[in-house]
Structure formats: structure tokens, C-alpha cells
Amino acid sequence: MDFTLVQDNVQNLVMDVDVINEIATPNFGSSDELRIVLIGKTGSGKSTTGNSLLGETKFVEDVSSQSVTTYCESYRTERFGKSFRVVDTPGLFDTSLSLDKVAKEISRCVVMLSPGPHAFLFVLRVGRFTEEEQNTVSHLLDIFGSGALSYIIIVFTYKDDLDRKKRTLQQYINGNQKLKELTDKCPVFPIDNTKDTDEQAKNLIALVEQTVQRNGNVHYTNEMLQRASEAFELKKKQLQEEEQRKFEEKSQTIARKI
């Protein structure tokens, strides 16, 4: 991963947020509504999950390897006696989008869901938890900070694929140490793509509400994004110092041999 590129985009975003906050109306987001961000790799079922929550097709769905969503989209609805807003984001590591474009667009959701999102739904399609998916998690935490873990719900789509193979979701999770480590830190919600979407959407919203309560009704804020940027700057500096130290040691070793 290009640490400099990601850091530059996070810092640019923080400045953008400050400017937008100055001109945004105070009531852009209602304190009574749930604010949800969809994040995931292209083809994971991210947009489909968003449409299931909304109860209608708003986000464009596609099964290709390239992301249909190239910028953040936001829709608001009232269902199950609740008011909530859902933001769909560009697919991480999509081949048609540059890393700087993805990083900046995903981070803009903090602005679109002012005063801040209550939950990030990290959508994973049941299958191999590849290096790309693992990088997606790292990329997500680089942008939003490790504190974002308490706001993440892992949504597994196509659980019916496991049912046909007579495997449980827990067996699937236990089969990958990296995946197990992630699910140990975040709540999990499985989606069966052959069953009633309304009932599953209702249960997923209930889990979002539980997450809000567990976080003391505190949403993710721009201040948290700022701290994430500062923490990442420190991480980048430490990595650079370590690389410099290794380079100097190697140079000294070569000099002694001459």
C-alpha cells in the first residue's frame, strides 16, 4: 500500500470536512435517524444489501468485476418504525478506480452523514477471505482509524452457498485465522439471498441499533477521522525511520566488506 498516498488523501479530506462543516446547515442530519455506511469489495453484494435496507432499488446492482458505484450515494427512508439514511461507497480495490479516488470518496461519507455515521456495514461475500479482502480491512482502518472497529458490523452475503454445502457460518469463519480475528472484534450478520429480504433487513437494522446502544449512542465523528489521520502520520513516520535504519545497517555492512 502507498502510505503517502493514503495519508495525503486523509489529510485533504479532513480539510474538506472542515470547510463543508462551516457552510453546512446544522440540521443536515437528524439526531433521531440511524446513519449507515456500506463498505466492501466490488461484487460483494454491497449495493444489494443497501437496497434491501431501503426496501426499493436505489443503488445500481451489478455482478461484474468493476464497480458501478464510483462515488458515494445517499438515500433516506422510514421503515420498521425507524428513520435511517444509507450511503453506498465505491468498491475497494476496484480495477477501474484509482486508490486516491476510492479513499477520498469513501471518506466523504463522514460529511454526507453529518454529524456522523452510526455504523459501517462491511459487506463480505461468503467464499475465500483473500489477501484483497484482508487489505480492504487494513485500508478501511487506515482511513477511519482502529477506533472504527466498534462501529463495524460484518455482513456476510450468500450464506445460502454455505447451506448447500452443509457448512455453518461459524465453521467457515473458523477456517481462516484472519477472518476469525476480525469477527472476534465485530458483530456478524449473515444474509441468505434466497429468503425474505424484508425480514432480514429488519433484523439488520435491529443489530445496528444494538451497536449504537453499545457505543453509548455516540456516532463516528470528524474528530475521530482527524485522530486517525494523525495516528497514520505517526505510523508512516515510524515505518520510514525503520526503513532508513535498515538501509544504513546494510550500507555499513557493505562498507566493512570493501
How many of the other CB atoms lie within 10 Å of CB of 1?
Answer: 10
The predicted-structure confidence for 235-250, as pLDDT tens digits, reads as follows 778 888 888 888 888 8
The predicted-structure confidence for 162-213, as pLDDT tens digits, reads as follows 999 999 999 999 998 888 988 999 999 999 988 888 999 999 999 999 999 9
pTM: 0.75
What value, to the nearest 5°, has the Cα angle with vertex 45 and ends 12 and 6?
20
Contact 17, 67 (CB under 8 A): no
Give the helix ranges, DSSP H, for 66-221. Answer: 99-107, 109-112, 131-144, 159-164, 169-174, 177-183, 197-214
Residues 208-220: what's their mean pLDDT? 92
Of the listed ranges 150-159, 175-184, 223-232, the least confidently predicted one is 223-232
Percent of the chain's residues with pLDDT above 70: 76
Domain edges within the chain: 3-231
The predicted-structure confidence for 67-89, as pLDDT tens digits, reads as follows 445 677 889 999 999 999 999 88
C-alpha cell at 133: 479482502
Fold exhibited by the domain 3-231: Rossmann fold (3.40.50)
More confident residue, 105 or 99: 105
